[in-house]
Amino acid sequence: MTAIPPSKTRKSPAVAIVAGLLVLALIACVVLLIGSLMQSGVIAAFVAWMYETTLGTVVRYFLESVLLIIALLIVVAYLILVDRKVWAAVQMRRGPNVVGPWGLFQSFADLIKFALKEQIIPDGANKGIFLIAPLVTSVLAIAAWAVVPVADGWAIADINVGILYLFALSSLGVYGVIMGGWASNSKYPFLSALRSAAQMVSYEVSIGFVIITVLLCAGSLNITEIVRTQQTGLGTMLGLPNSFLDWYFLPLFPMFIIFFVSALAETNRPPFDLVEAESELVAGFMVEYSATGYLLFMLGEYVAITLMCAMTTILFLGGWLPIIDVAVLNWVPGVVWFMIKLLFVFFMFAMVKAIVPRYRYDQLMRLGWKVFLPISLFWVALTAGVLVAFGWAP
Amino acid sequence: MIAALFFYLFAAVAVASAVMVISARNPVHSVLFLILCFFNAAGLFVLMGAEFLAMILVVVYVGAVAVLFLFVVMMLDVDFVELRQGMLNYLPVGATIGLIVLVELVLAAGSWVIDPKSVATHAAPTPTDITNTEALGRVLYTDFIFYFEAAGLVLLVAMIGAIVLTLRHKQGVKRQDISTQVARNPANAVEVIKVKSGQGI
């Protein structure tokens, strides 16, 4: 056995201490600077400028969007890790555990790896569309987050028809897949694109009906309003304090399940990942993609999955509302409750992926058109009837 | 100022992509430009304060109709040489239709230049106290419910007609019947036979 030679580039402890002190000094300087700025009222003036002038409003929306995108991408990076860890735990493996402590930096390592690889464009590909397709997927998925209220009043654009905007953008996700599959000019991607188009259009129908049912109960298309109406409900009718019993998942339980399953199909998650069924279609519409193109597709897919989790949270699990509205629990900020619920729904997504085998294509279509569509249509009629009959309609 | 900027942006892109729809060589590119055009039309709706119409335009036309368009166009076996040969034959018909549409547009737009009072007859004032989703709902489901349901019935008849025309019951096709599959049990699915050695069944 040969002894491993000591690394020659190892830094001495003194260097590390000096570097640490420098960083601390820098942080102290920044804190002092911010403090003095606040003292002189510069920051207050800047905030006022952002709310009062036209240019300031543009700058404010830009800064808000950048903040949201950064937060979203970090959350998505760790959700991918959660996904892989849950999947591994179900199969009694360890999952990614090499890059960083407990594999915490795995997603960032993957990001750098994808960004540094060579982008290959097939000879027969339709170049423009081939390059636009991954952008379409990821940009649409990220754009939908503009209307999501992660806490009370925290949505960037609190528009009147917020839920329709979400529905519209999530139904556009199919274009990235179709364009990518067609432009690759290859058999498997094309077959995959056709499958995906049919699948996503089918499940949008039942998602639409589920959203309509919730809208009937909430009486508003505004997302913030939909969450606020869940403060009162079944629980408060029985005289209990505001709690999880008021959320829509309880009175609309069948629709909650249908929405969850349709969300799996809409985002091409297993067991409905027929778009990239690797035993039949190699990697589906992504066969010809490499490097950044592939990265953007994966990013768009995971952002869309996170969006579906957020939609489930908003429509059925009371958004940013605490589980029980009592002293200790309602001190927790709304964004924390939102993240906890989003994580719970994502955990369910990951468990489904790990446990359920893939559907056959005709079974998928049967489930969408012959099972979910009639049930959701019936529930829309039933909900409307009950609301009118008991005078609960908002 | 910003609204005007966005108006010119949306309008310019909408017109340019509409031109590309009819001038693009590849039919798939045409459909994609059509989608871009829809998007910009939705943007114009938002600028006019009709956000509900804008979202419905995106959901229905871009999310469903254009997907089916794209689906059909991708499956077509397009022969570009053959396409160009028919150009001269169809030109007079196309030009006539285009001319008629143009004249109608000019008449419709010109009516309130000629008679400014006529605007009141075809433009109901936008209500300010309710959202436009609610205003549209009142018009569709309260004021004109009969016409709305009649239109729905016409669509239903068209749908049933399409199904009747294409539905065929093929003989000898094995279909999956989920309820019989689930109802199977060892008693009616498996037969255990004692076979003496050397005899067979």
Q: Which residues contact B10 (CB under 8 A, 6 or more apart)?
A: B40, B41, B43, B44, B47
- Nearest CA to CA, how far is B188 from chain A (Å)? 25
The pLDDT score that the predictor gives to residue B89 is 78
- Nearest CA to CA, how far is A159 from chain B (Å)? 9
Q: Among A178-192, A256-270, B14-28, B128-142, which stretch is predicted with the lowest mean pLDDT?
A: B128-142
- Nearest CA to CA, how far is B133 from chain A (Å)? 8
Partners of A171 on chain B (C-beta within 8 Å) are 59, 63-64
Select from A254, A284, A257, A289 the least CA-distant residue to A268.
A284
Q: Record the tokens describing residue A324, joined without a space.
A: 């029980």
Closest CB from B28, B32, B63 relative to A204: B63
Neighbours of B89 (CB within 10 A): 8
Partners of A203 on chain B (C-beta within 8 Å) are none
A391 φ/ψ sector (left φ>0, alpha ψ -120 to 50, else beta): left
Beta-carbon separation of B59 and A171 below 8 A:
yes
Interface list for B 20-59 with A (CB within 8 A): 26, 28-29, 32, 35, 51-52, 55-56, 58-59
**Side chain identity, residue A36:** S
User: How is residue B171 annotated by DSSP?
Assistant: T
Mean pLDDT of B120-138: 71
- The share of chain B scoring above pLDDT 90, in percent, equals 24
pTM for the predicted model, two decimal places: 0.81
Q: Record the tokens describing residue B148, joined without a space.
A: 């709305």
Q: Which residues contact A88 (CB under 8 A, 6 or more apart)?
A: A94, A95, A96
> CB pairs below 8 Å between A and B: how many?
67
The pLDDT score that the predictor gives to residue B200 is 73
Q: Record the tokens describing residue B15, joined without a space.
A: 């017109």
Closest CB from B1, B59, B131 relative to A168: B59
Mean pLDDT of A223-228: 88
Count of residues making up chain A: 394
Does the beta carbon of A47 lie under 8 angstroms from any beta carbon of chain B? no
Torsional sign, CA A313, A317, A318, A322: negative
pLDDT in tens, B55-93: 888 888 888 888 888 888 887 766 666 666 667 778 888
Which has more confidence, A322 or A37?
A: A322
pLDDT in tens, A27-86: 888 888 887 777 777 777 777 877 778 788 888 888 888 988 998 999 999 999 999 999
Identify the closest residue of chain B to A133 by CA–CA distance.
Answer: B32
Mean pLDDT of A245-273: 87
Q: Decide if pLDDT at A206 tops 70.
A: yes
Partners of A164 on chain B (C-beta within 8 Å) are 52, 55-56, 59
The pLDDT score that the predictor gives to residue A1 is 47
Does the beta carbon of B63 lie under 8 angstroms from any beta carbon of chain A? yes
ipTM (interface predicted TM):
0.76
Mean pLDDT of B9-37: 89
Q: Decide if pLDDT at B118 tops 70.
A: no
- Nearest CA to CA, how far is A336 from chain B (Å)? 30
Q: Decide if pLDDT at B50 tops 60.
A: yes
**For testing contact with chain A, the best of B25, B32, B176, B178 (most A CBs within 10 A):** B32
Q: What is the rounded distance in angstroms from the CA atom of residue A273 to the CA atom of residue A358?
A: 7
The pLDDT score that the predictor gives to residue B150 is 95
Q: What is the rounded distance in angstroms from the CA atom of residue B31 to the CA atom of residue B24?
A: 9
**Side chain identity, residue B6:** F
Q: Decide if pLDDT at A5 tops 60.
A: no
Axis-axis angle for helices A173-183, A291-316 (nearest 10)? 160
> What number of CA atoms fall less than 13 Å from residue A383's CA on the CB side?
24
Q: Which residues contact A147 (CB under 8 A, 6 or more apart)?
A: A155, A156, A157, A158, A159, A162, A165, A166, A223
Closest CB from A129, A159, A164 relative to B59: A164
Select from A166, A265, A185, A184 the least CA-distant residue to A224.
A166
Q: What is the rounded distance in angstroms from the CA atom of residue A267 to the CA atom of residue A302?
A: 9
Partners of B70 on chain A (C-beta within 8 Å) are 178, 197
**For testing contact with chain B, the best of A59, A163, A172, A185 (most B CBs within 10 A):** A172
Q: Record the tokens describing residue A220, joined without a space.
A: 């508003």
> What number of CA atoms fall less than 13 Å from residue A267's CA on the CB side?
28
Q: What is the rounded distance in angstroms from the CA atom of residue B124 to the CA atom of residue B112?
A: 14
